[in-house]
Each structure stands twice: as structure tokens, then as C-alpha cells.
């Protein structure tokens, strides 16, 4: 059942054009988590909404595993969409070290939610604080 409620994920929230992806890659800021690279471009969406693009290549596995990665990432962003500031274009690229079998919604949320706080802080124009340090810098050994 397609929901039109508060937690829907309409096409307007998706990056679909190649030019939008290239703009994120070229002019966006990169953020790293354990299993993903996020390219974030501020104030780029014409509608003022944040938009999500997924770049999952064959290096991530066969079609079944690639689709699983995309489903889990979309669901994570759908459930946590209230924490994402408006006007962002976000491209998510999985690292080669990602094992699709071990990818869970809870594990992905642990990687993404701290980055969302960073994006909110930077979108508001506030200076970086310890809470605004990318995930790997806080949690790497």
C-alpha cells in the first residue's frame, strides 16, 4: 500500500537526473561512515526539500544484494526524514567493505543519525562543534 502520510518517500525526494548526481560529486561535501560515503550539497534542491540519490554499483554484489542495500538505505532515510535539514541533495555510495548480508536498518541508523546532526548544524550555519564531527572521526580506533 502506497502511503501519503508523514513518512512517505515520494519521487520528489529522489535524485534522478545525472546532472544532479554530478553536482553532488563535484561541489558537495563528503562525509564518511564505516560502510558508506555521503556526498551532500547544501541549498541545491529547487523545491527546498532534501533529495536522496543512491549509487550502488556492481562492485557491491549481484542485483539481489544491490537492491537490498538500496531498500535499507531508502527505509532509513524515510524513517529519519524529520532529522534531515531542508534543501540538501544527498548521494549515498556504499564502500566495498560493506557486506550486504550484515546490513541492518538499526546498524545503518547508527551510522547515519550522527551525520544528520552534522548536516543540520552546517545547514544552520553554526560553527563546527564536537557533536558536528563526522562519524569516523568520533568512532575510529
Residue 66: which domain range? 11-131
> Is the pLDDT confidence value at 5 over 70?
no
Domain annotation covers residue 138: no
- End-to-end Cα, the chain, rounded Å: 44
Q: Provide the domain count of the chain.
A: 1
Domain annotation covers residue 4: no
pTM confidence score: 0.80
Percent of the chain with pLDDT over 70: 81
Q: What is the pLDDT of residues 17-35, one digit of tens each?
A: 999 999 999 999 999 999 9
Whether 28 maps to a domain, the answer reads yes
Task: Give the per-residue pLDDT at 32.
Answer: 95
- C-beta neighbour count of 108 within 10 angstroms: 23
The DSSP 8-state label assigned to residue 128 in this structure reads: P
Q: What is the CATH number of the domain that holds 24?
A: 3.30.230.10
Dihedral (Cα; 18, 24, 26, 28), 10-degree rounding: 180
- Position 130 scores a pLDDT of 41
pLDDT for 140 beyond 70 = no
Amino acid at each position: 500500500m502506497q502511503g501519503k502520510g508523514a513518512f512517505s518517500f515520494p519521487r520528489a525526494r529522489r535524485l534522478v537526473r545525472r546532472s544532479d548526481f554530478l553536482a553532488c560529486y563535484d561541489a558537495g561535501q563528503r562525509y564518511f561512515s564505516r560502510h558508506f560515503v555521503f556526498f551532500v550539497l547544501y541549498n541545491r534542491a529547487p523545491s527546498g526539500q532534501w533529495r536522496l540519490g543512491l549509487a550502488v554499483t556492481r562492485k557491491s554484489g549481484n542485483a539481489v544484494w544491490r537492491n537490498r542495500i538500496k531498500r535499507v538505505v531508502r527505509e532509513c532515510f524515510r524513517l529519519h526524514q524529520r532529522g534531515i535539514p531542508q534543501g540538501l541533495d544527498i548521494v549515498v555510495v556504499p564502500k566495498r567493505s560493506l557486506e550486504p548480508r550484515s546490513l541492518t536498518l538499526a546498524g545503518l541508523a547508527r551510522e547515519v543519525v550522527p551525520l544528520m546532526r552534522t548536516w543540520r548544524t552546517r545547514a544552520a550555519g553554526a560553527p563546527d562543534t564536537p557533536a558536528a564531527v563526522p562519524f569516523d572521526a568520533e568512532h575510529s580506533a
